[in-house]
Amino acid sequence: MSRKVIISCAVTGGGDTIKKSPAVPVTPEQIAASVIEARNAGAAIAHIHVRDPKTGAPSQDVALYREVVERVRGAGCDILLNLTTGPGSRFVPSEEDPCVGGPGTTMTAPLRRVQHVLELRPDICSLDVGSMNFGETGFVNTPAHLRIMAKAIAEAGVKPEIEVFEPGHIMLARRMIEDGHIAKPPLFQICLGISWGTPATAESMLFMRSLLPAGALWAGFGISRMEFPMVAQAVILGGHVRVGLEDNLFIEHGVLAPGNGALVERAVQIVRALGESVANPGEAREILGLGA
């Protein structure tokens, strides 16, 4: 029998992509429409960031998250919602005093980073377990802050998706699981190809999967041109997959994707070509142990 593979769609992200593709959704209305488009194409989970509707810059505004959630649910869409908690973790040392954040710094108190999760109670929320150089900025997620966030997420009844960008992040997550800060079975998302994290290669995904604790649920993705090769790799290794305009703007070399639906459709083709089947939201809920 074929295995049910969950497809997640990261519909917009917070990167400087709106200048590169007209398909990237910006307003809550556009983001919600793109979530529904992804569901109709085969995605069971939508990973959601919000943006300032006027500038397109990443935002932590709870009202914007609320509007997206209400629009999706108001349309009767059953896709599982995964709200990001990544914003609020960037640090750029100022030139005058490296102890002080300069332009581009977004460091935010841990409970503020999960405020929208506590208020809206999505099915899932991301939890970036670990720090790293993220392009030209520092991506700062200290163990103390992560414990605060994990506790609040658990008390809200939301399942954390543990995003890991390097092998050491998995080791930190394992300690948090062992110490009871994250419930079993944990859900991991192996994030590959981000500068300067682990490269998007078959060897990298295989090694990071080998570090996961027994019984862990997991998915993986690669960015840019490695998006679809990593879909195939994750399926082959027994994991679930993620695509979306947050990670990749192109449907093929030199051709911009017309929307998130096209990227999900390509992932569906890959999953089925490898002999597996695509999980619907109800099946994904069962696989993840989320209940009705």
Domains of the chain: total: 1
Token pair listed for 95:
């030139």
Name the pLDDT band for 292 (thresholds 50, 70, 90). Answer: low
153 φ, ψ (degrees, to nearest 5): -60, -45
Output the pLDDT for position 1: 75
Please return the burial class of 157, using the count of CB atoms within 10 Å of its CB with bins 0-12, 13-18 and 19+: exposed
| Residue 234: CATH number of its domain | 3.20.20.70
Alpha-carbon distance of 282 to 244, in angstroms, equals: 21
Q: For residue 36, give the H/E element and its range.
A: helix 28-41
pTM for the model stands at: 0.96
Name the pLDDT band for 149 (thresholds 50, 70, 90). Answer: very high
Q: Taking residues 122-144, what's their average pLDDT?
A: 95
257 φ, ψ (degrees, to nearest 5): -70, 135
Tens of pLDDT, residue by residue over 66-103, are: 999 999 999 999 999 999 999 999 999 999 999 999 99
**Beta strands, E only, 4-63:** 4-5, 7-10, 45-48, 50-51, 58-59
**Beta strands, E only, 112-192:** 124-128, 132-134, 137-139, 159-164, 187-192
Question: What does the mean pLDDT of the chain come to?
Answer: 97
Tens of pLDDT, residue by residue over 224-242, are: 999 999 999 999 999 999 9
Range of the domain at 76: 4-288
Name the pLDDT band for 274 (thresholds 50, 70, 90). Answer: very high
Output the pLDDT for position 242: 98
Tens of pLDDT, residue by residue over 33-50, are: 999 999 999 999 999 999
Output the pLDDT for position 166: 97
